[in-house]
Amino acid sequence: ILLIVSAMLPDDYRFARTIELNRPVGDVYPLVVNLPNWPKWDPFTESDPDAESTFTGTPGTIGSTWSWEGELIGVGRLTLQDFVTNVSIRSELAFISPQPMVGKDIWEFVETPSGVQVSWISEGNLDYPFGRFAGIFMDSILGPSIETGLDNLKKVSEGLPPPMQKTPADSMD
């Protein structure tokens, strides 16, 4: 019965959270695309402050990677795969242990009159049979952490020094 029920469950997952930040997209985007900035606001790092992080590659370039190992957050890595500056970021998110799983981490940035709307999206495939059962609970379990991460990103970005304002003299250069 377990196998039959699992076969009827979705074989993929997708959930997203969105927040409005009162900062220009050019100030917020680097906090996400440059992986060494993640520990400043990432909710999972916050939950396991003794976790070890390693960054490889040039920050903000395709192929740059953040690897971590912690007692609570396990072992995993995030690898930058594609981006459009100030618009979107796509990364591979790989959990190595305790439960191996690979998914996509997607960010979208939409400029607004007061700053930027930021969406953090997680999606991937679910293994048969047990991964499909876990998929039922992924949004309710991980969604609140994503919300915390976006709230942290808001605090960090809005706590940055004010953007430099151009003066009329600057435009004459």
Q: Is 62 helix (H, G, I), strand (E, B) or coil?
A: coil
**What is the C-alpha to C-alpha distance for residues 77 and 53, in angstroms, rounded to an integer?**
9
| pLDDT value, residue 12 | 80
Structure-model confidence comparison of residues 12 and 87, the more confident one? 87
Confidence of residue 165 (pLDDT cuts 50, 70, 90): low
**What is the C-alpha to C-alpha distance for residues 121 and 130, in angstroms, rounded to an integer?**
22
For residues 144-161, give the mean pLDDT: 94
Confidence of residue 96 (pLDDT cuts 50, 70, 90): very high
Q: Is 138 helix (H, G, I), strand (E, B) or coil?
A: helix
Q: Name the average pLDDT for the chain.
A: 88
The pTM (predicted TM-score) of the whole model is 0.85
